[in-house]
Chains A and B, each alone.
Chain A
Amino acid sequence: KQEVTQIPAALSVPEGENLVLNCSFTDSAIYNLQWFRQDPGKGLTSLLLIQSSQREQTSGRLNASLDKSSGRSTLYIAASQPGDSATYLCAVPNFGNEKLTFGTGTRLTIIP
């Protein structure tokens, strides 16, 4: 059964810093990985989707990488802003009966 872990569970950094969020998965037989952000009490917003054939995907200040062999993905946020404060979740599709398996999330706080 696929297990997805995100460490740390919470992270606080000063505004303007670059930061990296981590996502680990146990079953490397995935065909893509998706990063989402969730604001308190809200739904999920898709940030980036990386296909298994890709190593990186970029959108603005966000860059996501995927290393299937090591079961890891990272989300790099450049020049962080207070508006980046949210919970970030990674998710992988499961070849079993689940559509997506989500990580536990990292709650990010950017300090002005």
Chain B
Amino acid sequence: KAGVTQTPRYLIKTRGQQVTLSCSPISGHRSVSWYQQTPGQGLQFLFEYFSETQRNKGNFPGRFSGRQFSNSRSEMNVSTLELGDSALYLCASSSEGADTQYFGPGTRLTVL
């Protein structure tokens, strides 16, 4: 089975722009979670989607949004980028009722 894939792997944007990141979960997994990793704050939970519905949300401003499609693929969007949004964005998927999460390689976002 293919693992979790994330595209693109690297992105460079400037302040004020917006960005969309994509995540394809493991086949059959319906839950997709997004995390932000920075050197200062570590790994922080952004949100979780299950069957196209946002099920949980972390403590991030409304500039961070996401969605999930009927094939379980998920996208997250960050509008009006700030320098502090520079981070590694990780996506994880899990199957219904399972505790183990499987992570993708991440998208490295740099905001200049």
**Chain A residues within 8 Å of B99, by CB:** 31-32, 34, 49, 51, 93
Cβ-based interface call for A75 (8 A): no
Roughly how many angstroms separate A66 CA and B17 CA in the complex, as a whole number? 45
Interface size class of A (residues with CB under 8 A): 20 to 34
| Residues from 1 to 52 in B contacting A, C-beta threshold 8 Å | 4, 6, 33, 35, 42-45, 48
**Chain B residues within 8 Å of A44, by CB:** 90, 92, 103
Which residue, B57, B101, B102, B108, has most C-beta atoms of chain A within 10 A? B101
5 shortest A-B CB distances, which residue pairs?
A102-B43, A44-B103, A43-B103, A98-B45, A43-B105
**A contacts, CB < 8 Å to B:** 31-32, 34, 36, 41-46, 49, 51, 89, 91, 93, 97-105
Can you list 27 A-B pairs, Cβ within 8 angstroms, ordered by A?
A34-B99, A34-B100, A41-B106, A41-B108, A42-B105, A43-B4, A43-B104, A44-B90, A44-B92, A44-B103, A46-B100, A46-B101, A46-B103, A49-B100, A51-B99, A97-B56, A97-B57, A99-B48, A99-B56, A99-B92, A100-B33, A100-B45, A101-B45, A102-B35, A102-B42, A102-B43, A103-B42
